[in-house]
Amino acid sequence: MQLNVPPDVVALVQKQLATGAFADEADVIRRALETLEAEGTWTDEERRALDNKIDRAFEQVAAGQTYGPDEARRRLAALREAHLSKV
C-alpha cells in the first residue's frame, strides 16, 4: 500500500518519532490506528464516565483543590500500601 501523506501529518509522525517511544513511522501509525479503534469501541456509558471525571477535575482546579507531585507520590504510596495489605 502506498499513501500520499500531507506535510502536516508527516510533521505529526516525525514529532512522535522524536519522542523515542516509537521504532519507526509504521509503529506511530499502528498506535494511532489502535487508539482510534479502541475509542470506537467505547460505550456511551464509558464516554459519560470519562466526561464526568474530566468535569470533576476542572471543578477541583477551579476550587484550588490541587496538589503537587510530592503530595501525589505520597498519596499513591499510601494507596499502594493499602492495596497490598489487602492482598
**Cell 493499602 -> residue:** 82
pLDDT digits (tens, 9 = 90+) for 9-59: 999 999 999 999 999 999 999 999 999 999 889 899 999 999 999 999 999
The pTM of this model reads: 0.52
| Residues in Cβ contact with 17 at an 8 Å cutoff, skipping those fewer than 6 apart | 24, 25, 28
**Model confidence band, residue 1 (pLDDT cutoffs 50, 70, 90):** confident
Contact 37, 25 (CB under 8 A): no
For the chain, give every domain's residue range: 7-40, 44-86
CA distances to 6, 25, 28, 39 from 3, rounded to whole Å, are 9, 12, 15, 24
Give the model's pLDDT for residue 58.
Answer: 96
